[in-house]
Amino acid sequence: MTDHPYAGLWVTADGRIRHELLPEGRYVEARGTRERAYTGRYTVTGAHIDYVDDTGFTADGDFVDADTLHHAGMVLTRRAE
């Protein structure tokens, strides 16, 4: 997934949830002050993303446009890192 178009930092409007989608198919999720609350891998098929964290928990979401991700009832937007 090198140079994947969705790689980068995605953040909720309040900044509490932050997903960093790394180009190699890994992610790091920060929650509040916990910078590495969850880590795992992700795959993207079209505009759909599937997450599997390192404990085996799964989640998914959809990119509604190039800068907006809907995930687990949240809206995250792309941010410059």
On whether residue 2 sits in a domain, the answer given is: no
On whether residue 19 sits in a domain, the answer given is: yes
CATH at 19: 2.40.128.290
Report the distance separating Cα 48 and Cα 4, nearest Å.
Answer: 13
Whether the full predicted model's pTM is greater than 0.85, yes or no, is yes
- Phi-psi domain of 70 (left: phi exceeds 0; alpha: psi -120 through 50; beta: other): beta
pLDDT tens for each residue of 12-69 = 999 999 999 999 999 999 999 999 999 999 999 999 999 999 999 999 999 999 999 9
Q: How confident is the model at residue 81 (pLDDT cuts 50, 70, 90)?
A: low
**Count of domains observed in the chain:** 1
On whether residue 1 sits in a domain, the answer given is: no
CA distances from 14 to 17, 22, 47, 68 (A): 8, 22, 24, 15
On whether residue 3 sits in a domain, the answer given is: no
Q: Give the pLDDT of residue 1.
A: 47
CA-CA-CA-CA torsion for 32, 33, 36, 38, nearest 10 degrees? -30
